[in-house]
Structure formats: structure tokens, C-alpha cells
A and B are shown apart, each in its own frame.
Chain A
Amino acid sequence: MSLPATPAQTIGPFHGTALPFPGGGEAAPVGHPDTITVHGCVRDGDGAPVPEALLEFWQAAPDGSLVGAPGSLRRDGAVFTGFARVVTREDGHYALRTLPPGEAPYLAVCLLAPGLTRHLFTRVYLAFPEHDPLIDALPPARRATLLATPEAGGHRTYRFDIRLRGGAETVFLAFPGRGGRPGPP
């Protein structure tokens, strides 16, 4: 049995009452000593900030497990669930507080924004592993777009900017579907 997939549509401009939720970017348990901050800006091909973009993060727990846990939408402040959702401000800025992922050293990202007809996938690497087929296959300049950079002076703070288009365009990923459908956009 093979069913054709339901097509995607733009998120539209008015998702703000439905999708963001309190504490969406606070994935780390409250006061956890290993908490890291990942923050940055989403910018378009002209360098203009993209407000109201929705960024979703999904990652392994520090012990490497990927089972996830309920409680992302109504956080209890204690359980690490692996999922976060943040919306960019007027200046395109977002911030996420989470725990460093174990094993696979990256956060999977899904980005949706008004004016973008389909969502985009990418990854935030906190450090490049010794051998990573994706990273190894990319030209160095493109590779750099997937690396979060530790900020001098910031405590466990990493900068990760997303550029939707242009010279420093972030590497976006496609996952072959059942029908060989190309990924976004």
C-alpha cells in the first residue's frame, strides 16, 4: 500500500496564537548546571531579519537517548523532553536553552516562516565529530554554516545564525521520501 503524501502549505502570518507556548525555548530543566544557550538571528537573502519565524528543535538527551518524553508543551521544569519551539522576534532573534546532546552532537531544526512556502530542515552542530558523512561531503564554506560558535565571555553560550538565502546561505537538508520526492523548498 502506498498513499500519496498530503502537500504542505505556508504557515501563514497568523500562527502566533496557536503554536508558540510558554517556555517553548526552555528545554533544559530549571537550574541544570549543564545548560547551554543557543541563540542567533534568522535573516533573508537581503540580510533583513525574519520575524515570526517558527524554529523547532529536536535532539538527543545528554545520555544519547532519543526516546523523548512528554511535557514539552506544559513543562514541569524537571524533565528533559528533547523538543523546543521558539519564535523569532521583530529583529529576527531567537534563543534556546537546552542540554548538550549526547552521541550525535547536533540539534535537528525545522524552520517555518511566513513567506516561505514550505518548511526547511537543517542541523545545529555544537562541534563537528571526527567523521560525519554530511559534514565531510560539504565544501568548507558551506560546512561552517552548520556550526554553532562558542561566544567569548558568554557562559556556555553558542551563536547560530540562519541565513535563508545568499552568499552565506545555511545548508538545508532534504530527506528522500517514499516517492523520491525532493525535500523542501
Chain B
Amino acid sequence: MATTEPLAQGTGRDVEDVTEDFAEDCAGIAAGEAAGSVPPYRGRPERHPRQRPVPLVLDPDAVELRAPVFGAADVSPLDADLTTGHHGEPLGERITVGGRVLDGRGRPVRGQLVELWQANAAGRYVHRMDRHAAPLDANFTGAGRCLTDDDGRYRFTTIRPGAYPDVTRHNAWRPSHLHFSLFGTAFTQRLVTQMYFPGDPLLPYDSIWTSVRDATARRRLVAAYDPGLNEPGLSLGYRWDVVLDGPAATWAEEGR
């Protein structure tokens, strides 16, 4: 069973998180780059808990120290190629995106599920709620899955998504990005995030990107062009490594 840290500061204290976080944002802006001039995306305040999350130190038997298992029954190798499975070829610039999934100690995270979803080359999602007046592509759905290999590597073939208007702000556009969902070896390592492309001029103007307040951390969301990942004559390669956080589970150092 889990053990808790002293809860005096963890419960019962009603924290105005929005105000507090906004103050942190402002500090980041003062310290920082041009990127800081864009107000960070705050989400919807009424969906953000007021109370601090209760800190839990997990013992080795805790449920959260394990993770769901996915295998060949769940994911076929074809699922990693978003450009196939339709009647024709999708429009747009074909790309290969790959990298390694690691834990905080640099160990590969093996056999774990990586999911990707994205807009098409014109910046439109196959989703009933997406009202952006850009064309849908009959040959592109924009969702894929793969499992990491023994080195923690993943690899997708897809097309570069287009920019699209950020409807929450006047005259703002979201830079090209891929949505990623990852599982690690612990449920607490669960991560949903977004990958961006190097040199994209829209980045400093994107409030979702600047919602990560630390500029160094933010840059970890940007992939690198990697000719080694190109499929010659077919696709441009981008390398993006992901590091999953989670409890320091020393008990798991061997054998996992």
C-alpha cells in the first residue's frame, strides 16, 4: 500500500492555482525570450483543481508502479505508417518521425505503446468538431500507433501537418505539431504531449508551446531534422526523443 508524505501542506489548503501560476508565468516572461510575449495557454480555470495534489510515496506493491501491457495483439506494424491504408496517397510533405523513449536514468523504455495523432497537410483534423475551412484529405486519417523496440525506439511514417488557426485567440495560428501519447513502465509515467518542428516561425507566437513556462523544457518539445531517419527519395526524417518521468523506482532497476 502507498504511504503518504506529511499531508499538512498537501491537503486542506485551498490554493488559488490560477493566480499563483499566472504570477509564475509573468516571472518567466520577464526573464525570458521573445516567446514569453505570448500569454501561455491556461486552459479553462473551472477545470483545474484548486487544491494541491496529494503527494504519494508509493511502495513497491502499489498499483501505479506497474503499467498496462500492449503487444502484437494490439498493434500491427502497419499502424505506424499513417500514409497507407487508404485508396491513394495523402497530400503533403512525407516525413519519418522517430526517436527513443527513455526513463529519467537514460534506460530504454521497451515494448511500450506510443500513439500519435495530427492534422492533415492543410491543417485540418478528421474530427466532427474541427470547423477549420481547409480541405479534408480522403487518403489521410491522421492516427497511428507503435510499440517501442528493445532499444526503446519508435518510428512513424506520416505527412507534415499544416498550421491552423487557434480559435481561442485573435489572429493566432498553431504551429505544425504532432500529438503524442506514451505509456512507460509505471502508470505514473503516463505522458500526453506535442512535438514541434525545428525552425517553425510560429513557435514563439503559440500559447500552447509557451504554456510550458521553462524555456529549456519547452525546447525539448522540438524535434531535430535527422537525415539518418530520411527514407531516401521519399521522406524527411525528424528525431525526437522522449524522457518519461515518474517515481524513482530503484527496485525496478534490474530486469525491466
Contacts and interface: CB of A to CB of B under 8 A. Distances in A.
B35 interface: no
A152 interface: no
Interface stretch (B26-34, B85-93, B227-235, B242-250): B242-250
B121 interface: no
B92 to A, nearest CB: 17
A17 B48 contact: no
What secondary structure prevails in chain B residues at the interface with A? loop
Which of B53, B58, B117, B211 has the most chain A CB atoms closer than 10 A to its own CB? B53
A175 B58 contact: yes
Given A74-B74, A137-B7, A177 B125 contact: no
Contacts of B73: 70-71, 73-74, 76
Contacts, number: 263
Interface in B171-216: 179, 181, 187-188, 190-194, 208, 211-212, 214, 216
A164 B247 contact: no
**Which among B48, B52, B117, B179 has the highest number of chain A CB atoms within 10 Å?**
B48
Given A6-B220, A10-B208, A17-B127, A70 B56 contact: no
B46 A48 contact: yes
Contacts of B216: 4
By CB atoms of chain A within 10 A, which of B12, B70, B129 has the most?
A: B70
Contacts of B252: none
A76 B63 CA distance: 24
B135 interface: no
Contacts of A44: 44, 46-47
A139 to B, nearest CB: 6
B105 A165 contact: no
Interface of B: 1-5, 7, 11-12, 17, 41-58, 61-64, 66-75, 102-106, 113, 115-117, 119, 125-127, 129-130, 141-143, 145, 179, 181, 187-188, 190-194, 208, 211-212, 214, 216-218, 220-221, 242-248
26 contacts: A6-B191, A10-B43, A15-B179, A17-B117, A17-B125, A17-B127, A17-B141, A18-B142, A44-B44, A70-B69, A72-B74, A73-B73, A81-B69, A110-B187, A112-B192, A113-B47, A117-B211, A133-B1, A137-B11, A142-B12, A164-B47, A164-B49, A169-B50, A173-B56, A177-B247, A182-B52
For the complex of A and B, the 4 pairs showing the least CB-CB separation, nearest first, are: A70-B71, A18-B117, A5-B245, A83-B68
